[in-house]
Amino acid sequence: MRRSTLTRMIVALIILLLPLLLAAVLPGHGLLSQLEARNLAPSWSHWFGTDWLGRDMFTRTMNGLALSIGVGMSAALASSLIAAFLGLMAATLGKTADRIITWLIDCFLSIPHLVLLLLIAFAMGGGLKGVIVAVALTHWPSLARLMRAEILALKSSEYVLISKQLGKTPWWIATRHMLPHLLPQFIVGSLLMFPHAILHEAAITFLGMGLSPHQPAIGIILSESMKYISAGMWWLALFPGFCLFLVVRAFDMLARSMYRFIDPARALLEKGGGH
């Protein structure tokens, strides 16, 4: 199991690193307009074809994926920190703080996700900052609820109660007992947040509330391609969409493989319980 899990992690990392490396290595002229090479179908010269301005779609797709991965990782990391902070507060600051934060989590979860994303992005004026803030402020509730439940379970566990009776300080208990248990949950929860962040970044941009049209983001590429699919230029949407799907699946596979690698006993238990 360890070997297969490690293999999956390596494959997922390769898929995720490939767009970043290609975006840095590919020549920049592929992003420039070349009117003599407009609307070319996929070939050896242009693997993903060219668009209506003669721009190389392979270069645009790789740069768009790199941009989306960067935005998604920034937003997911910020959202994970918010979740960890609020989950810790809810579990440690007493019943009043727990009620307020639980109510806040329920409020965020009750609002349709995409609607809230669009409202926040619009209020922030769109652009890169608007997308990151919108995704960061809407993806934390599920992880915060998980962190709160884990901390509450740890507080009532036998070894924590014994440590308290032995006179150990709250800091010692938090760093020696709670942190080693919570860190894998936090890492895996953050990784599982990445694909949602990337997809929602693409969705906001696709609807016109996200990144600038001058940036080669995947959402912009897909939005622009909708005007030309009826003209038979299928490659403008197929290849960028499929690459986005691969990146999202790679993040999901990396998170689940890392969970099995960090805590194989618990992963097996949950898998058995699921069946």
User: Per-domain residue ranges for the chain?
Assistant: 2-12+49-274
Residues listed for the chain: 275
Q: Please report the pLDDT score of residue 274 as a whole number.
A: 46
Q: Please report the pLDDT score of residue 249 as a whole number.
A: 85
The per-residue pLDDT for range 44-103, each reduced to its tens digit, is: 888 888 887 778 888 888 888 888 888 888 888 888 888 888 887 877 777 888 888 889
- For 91, the token pair is 């579990």
Question: Are the CB atoms for 50 and 39 separated by under 8 Å?
Answer: yes
- For 164, the token pair is 């308290």
Torsion angle (degrees, nearest 10) of CA 143, 148, 133, 63: -30
Rounded percentage of the chain residues whose pLDDT exceeds 90: 0
The per-residue pLDDT for range 18-37, each reduced to its tens digit, is: 888 888 888 777 677 777 77
The per-residue pLDDT for range 143-168, each reduced to its tens digit, is: 888 888 888 888 778 877 888 888 87
What class is the 2-12+49-274 domain?
A: mainly alpha
Q: Dihedral sign for Cα 225, 231, 233, 238, please.
A: positive
| Rounded Cα gap, residues 272 and 275, in angstroms | 5
Q: Please report the pLDDT score of residue 269 as a whole number.
A: 46
Least confident span in 116-130, 239-253, 259-273: 259-273
Q: Please report the pLDDT score of residue 266 as a whole number.
A: 53
| Residue 171 to residues 81, 156, 163, Cα–Cα distance (Å) | 19, 16, 11
pTM exceeds 0.85: no
Mean pLDDT of the chain: 79
Q: Please report the pLDDT score of residue 228 as a whole number.
A: 78
Give the amino acid at 141: P
Structure-model confidence comparison of residues 174 and 270, the more confident one: 174
The per-residue pLDDT for range 203-225, each reduced to its tens digit, is: 787 777 777 767 777 777 887 78
pLDDT category at 255 given cuts 50, 70, 90 is confident
